[in-house]
Amino acid sequence: MNAPLLSQLRAKNRAWAARMVASDRDFFKRLESQQAPEYLWIGCSDSRVPANQIVDLDPGELFVHRNVANLAPPQDANYLSVLQFAVDVLKVKHIMVVGHYGCGGVSAAVDGERRGLVDHWLHPIREVCNEHRHELAAIPDKRARLDRLCELNVIRQVRNVASDVIVREAWARGQSLCIHGWVYSLADGLVKDLDVSVTQPHESERLGDPRCDGI
């Protein structure tokens, strides 16, 4: 049952809570009263990519949705529910799709091995890989090729978010909302802005046609 390990986690929780109160005695009172984040983070489930810590935000300042390989599939009810709550209820101003270099999900999508259910989940990445096959094939180094696929996957997910009816309706009613594409580096802890931010429907056109090979 690994009870000692869980006890260690509970002890760490108590120590963390004590530190937070010691530095800010009203911290939990504020958290309890309201959730009003300005940001939605759509990121990878990888345990090495802690959303709040990467951008140095406290609990309550970042609304987070994470899944394997930071996908935003238009048929996924979980992602769509988070998106709708963030946009319609919390009125977030920024949505960041954040991938990371060295992503195991991206690698697993294209390594040819079969793992079961997750293969279906990762299928959109194989589609991205196929659409950009010529660009990717021109990169001789495997690691660099996978890193580029991580970037291309983020760009595709930004396009998915920008094309969703929830986001389009928010823009139509004049709501301020910007979608960004970032990639996080495990090597140095820094995020790279892919310069694919979208603030209006027509801006998503520059992210490319899904039928074309390249951006």
pLDDT (tens place) for every residue of the chain, 215 residues total: 577 889 999 999 999 999 999 999 998 988 888 778 999 999 999 999 999 999 999 889 999 999 999 999 999 999 999 999 999 999 999 999 999 999 999 999 999 999 999 999 999 999 999 999 999 999 999 999 999 999 999 999 999 999 999 999 999 999 999 999 999 999 999 999 999 999 998 887 777 643 333 33
From 46, 150, 159, 180, the catalytic residue: 46
Q: Specify which residues 40 forms β-bridges with.
A: 63, 95
Tokens representing 116? 């079961």
Q: Are 201 and 162 a contacting pair, CB within 8 Å?
A: yes
Q: Which CATH class is domain 35-207?
A: alpha beta
Q: Are 52 and 59 a contacting pair, CB within 8 Å?
A: yes
From 19, 24, 30, 48, the catalytic residue: 48
From 14, 66, 100, 211, the catalytic residue: 100
> Alpha helix (H) ranges present in the chain?
3-23, 27-33, 51-54, 77-84, 104-110, 117-121, 123-131, 133-137, 142-163, 165-172
State yes or no: is 103 an active-site residue.
yes
Rounded to whole angstroms, the Cα distance separating 140 from 18 reads 51
State yes or no: is 65 an active-site residue.
no
State yes or no: is 44 an active-site residue.
yes
Nearest to 148 by CA among 210, 71, 214: 214
> Where exactly are the structural domains of the chain?
1-34, 35-207
Span 33-87, pLDDT tens digits: 877 899 999 999 999 999 999 999 988 999 999 999 999 999 999 999 999 999 9
From 19, 26, 44, 65, the catalytic residue: 44
Q: Are 131 and 210 a contacting pair, CB within 8 Å?
A: yes
From 103, 132, 156, 164, the catalytic residue: 103
Nearest to 194 by CA among 164, 168, 166, 155: 155
